[in-house]
A = this chain, B = another copy of it.
Amino acid sequence: MTDNEKQDRESGLTLNPKYDSNGLITAVVTDVSSGDVLMVAFMNAEALDLTLKTDVAHFYSRSRQALWKKGETSGNILDVVEVRIDCDQDALWVKAKPAGPTCHTGTTSCFYRKVKNGQLESIA
């Protein structure tokens, strides 16, 4: 990548996601009301396209190697309010309204434990 390309990506207004070698980009989802980080997952170009077109979060499941509409089975979809992209366009920030618990374990957020003294502690 030349310096010009780098600068265009950083300061330009063209959406030009930098997918990794597997065609994926990291997506961080926060709850637009609480600001809490709900989950971190990956999107491929198709998932991002569908997310932007439908305002419902879609991801790419690496384990299933398939497009994944979050909540398709559980009903706990993520209504997308805003999508941001970072300076070098290799990460997305999705602000969403969750229809229910985001984590497959049943918790509001996948981040239900904090690190304390080298161990984990459940968030009250």
- Residues of A with Cβ closer than 8 Å to B? 10-15, 26, 28, 30, 34-37, 39-40, 52, 82-87, 91, 93, 103-105, 107, 110-115, 118-123
The 10 A-B pairs of least Cβ separation, nearest first, read: A35-B35, A40-B91, A86-B110, A84-B111, A13-B120, A83-B115, A87-B110, A37-B93, A93-B111, A84-B114
Residues of chain B within 8 A of A93, CB atoms compared = 37, 111
27 intermolecular pairs with C-beta atoms under 8 Å apart: A10-B105, A11-B105, A12-B120, A13-B113, A13-B121, A13-B122, A15-B119, A26-B26, A26-B40, A28-B28, A28-B40, A30-B37, A34-B35, A37-B84, A40-B86, A52-B118, A83-B114, A84-B113, A84-B115, A85-B111, A85-B113, A85-B120, A87-B103, A87-B104, A87-B107, A87-B110, A93-B111
**Shortest Cβ gap from A55 to chain B (Å):** 11
